[in-house]
Structure 1
């Protein structure tokens, strides 16, 4: 790559970063406003949902049936699920909410999608960190066994959330009814995410079928990072990475295809 090409690439990257940043700020102000706690709702919403689930599991004393820390089990499963579910749900309305901005030369359809999904990923990430820190501080959870492995699992699931969001948005653009029912479909997929079980807990003859689901590998990997050798997990990071790359490739092609027919209004 020549020096001139490097300069052009850096300039383009700087412009792209400014566009995404501007769209993120606009999304925060539009969605949460400047009143009350404002942008703090970005992570308060997923945090409250996860907290309610954790308190429910603890209230019914689910840990009485297992030596596993039920609070840690819930915290290491539900925020991951909420990240990909919320990212795909929000991606559907990204274009209609920002279509007037497409008049600007540097704003593309893909930018509006990335901005919304990155916002949801950021909210889930902050909620995860705050809740884990809080429960560790009050003694309901222990320190993670392998933080780096947990971080790697989170990044892989963030990639999955983006790839899935691109595809879901593209389908919703072609089939309007799909956009309306995806919220329900994604909720139905919740039990398949691995948030409510370990693969080791189900009969071994079904492991082969269950492990075709990419989200399960992310959840198993995240929990392996937290619990360490005290639990048995069946994650395959390479399988999840390959699924993510396929989703991203297909999603980008689909967005490129329907973007040609989008006219700013």
Structure 2
């Protein structure tokens, strides 16, 4: 609650900006793509393609971005016995995950109701992909947030990496559309598997998705273990005795 009030304040719509922000961004991109009559593949609906793609990007990118340099402005809170470094990261990650999730849910309901999108083919696949991407963003957020305590350069480097990952994350393409050689390369990027599974759950047999569940599980566990280890190290550095 403190994080919500600090970021959004008590005025206007207040905490509703938690999902209004990502929703407006995704909605704006979807409108632009639709207005420009952009096409992706032979038969993939542009609205559903944009919503699934950009919502997934906001989920992991915002979670990591908000963890960068999160310790210094909140360091005074660490003098409270029950507040730890990991709490600073968790509050920001959960806020971003909640915002992206509500945005994706409401936009999907809106577009399905208005006929711009069809109902999803397999909701269980969509939920599994969303959980995977959320855990991926959490592990990355912990790692980047803890490393940024050592040097502000990490935060600047992450912004560059995030921009490079955006076109490579699967948001603007499907693996099936790429040449076979490049397919093997992009499938090393963990986000691609999540987006492919998400679209497999939404479009069903309309698309041929490429993803590996074992690879996704290992990616999440590895990032979470590394992230938690770095957070523990950061806590030993900055938490009062």
Per the normalisation by structure 1, the TM-score is 0.88
Give the counterpart of 1:186 among 141, 144, 162: 162
Deviation (angstroms), 1:263: 4.4
Structure whose alpha-carbon radius of gyration is higher: 1
For CA contacts below 8 A with separation 6 or more, give which structure has more relative contact order.
2
CA drift of 1:208 comes to 1.4
Is 1:241 the equivalent of 2:217? yes
- Out of 76, 85, 90, the residue aligned to residue 109 of structure 1 is 85
RMSD after superposition? 1.3
In 2, distance between residues paired with 1:245 and 1:84? 15
Q: 2:106 aligns with which of 125, 130, 136?
A: 130
Look up the match of 1:73: 49
Partners in 1 of 2:119 and 2:211 — Cα distance? 21
Deviations 1:155-175 (A, max 9, x none): 011000000001111221222
Q: Distance in 2 between matches of 1:247 and 1:144?
A: 29
Counterparts of 1:160-175 in structure 2, within 5 Å, are 160-175=136-151
Q: 1:85 aligns with which of 58, 61, 67?
A: 61
| Aligned counterpart in structure 1 of residue 188 of structure 2, from 212, 226, 242 | 212
Gap change, CA 1:44 and 1:200, over 3 Å in 2: same
Off by >4 Å, runs of 4+ in structure 1: none
TM-score, normalised relative to structure 2 = 0.96
- The one of 170, 174, 191 aligned to 1:198: 174
Structure 2 residue runs without a partner (length 5+): none
Q: Is 2:26–2:55's contact at 8 Å kept on the other side of the alignment?
A: yes
The answer as to 2:55 corresponding to 1:44 is no
